[in-house]
Amino acid sequence: MTTTRPAASVGAARAIAASLIAGVTTFALVAWSMVGERGPQSPDAAATGPVIYAWAVLACGALIAAMLVWRTRITPRLESPRGPRKDEPGRQAALQSALIVVWALLEGAALFGVVVYFLYGATFPLAGGLLLVWLGIGLTFPRSEWFPRSTGAG
């Protein structure tokens, strides 16, 4: 029995990007609501400074890793002399996978920022995480020319 994977498409890539943004934003709104009602959830206020620094290091590391993946995995596919070709669905799937890796790196740092806010009430990681995920995914949002449609001609 042969299984087939769905073809990579601009619609699927955009749906994934929007889902990642929506997930982080929803989590941030829930955390904001809960902290507003109950206050920070951690009894150890002394740990706030080191945890914020840990978040900042993680966010910087995630941003650097995302830029590295972009430069090594995505840019060569977009800037090749042939460009993304419709007769290479494996190439488009690899592009979509690399985009997901970039977005997941940014999402991880943003989610950690929301958790830091939830536990310690520190707004900097919350705002920084949301900015990171919104700008990062927004700037790398899939374009239709990255995923040319197959014409059906062999």
Per-residue confidence (pLDDT) for residue 4, from 0 to 100: 54
Tell me how far apart the alpha carbons of residues 54 and 60 are, in angstroms, rounded to a whole number. 10
DSSP code per residue over 22-88: HHHHHHHHHHHHHHHHH--S-S-GGGHHHHHHHHHHHHHHHHHHHHHHIIIIIHHHHHSTT-S-TT-
Q: Is pLDDT at 124 greater than 80 in this prediction?
A: yes
Tens-place pLDDT, residues 76-106: 888 876 655 555 667 888 899 999 999 999 9
Going from N- to C-terminal start, the domains of the chain cover 10-144
Cut 0.75: pTM above it: yes
* 30: pLDDT strictly greater than 90: yes
Mean pLDDT of all residues in 117-124 = 92
Using the predicted structure, report yes or no on whether residue 3 has a pLDDT greater than 70.
no
Q: How far apart are CA 14 and CA 4, in angstroms?
A: 21
- Of all residues in the chain, the percent with pLDDT exceeding 70 is 86
Cβ atoms < 10 Å from Cβ of 7: 13
DSSP 127: H
pLDDT, mean of residues 11-30 = 96
Q: Is 24:114 a contact under the CB 8 Å cutoff?
A: yes
Average pLDDT taken over every residue of the chain: 87
CA dist 84 and 105 (Å) reads: 24
CA 81 to the chain's CA centroid = 28
Task: For residue 73, give the DSSP letter.
Answer: I
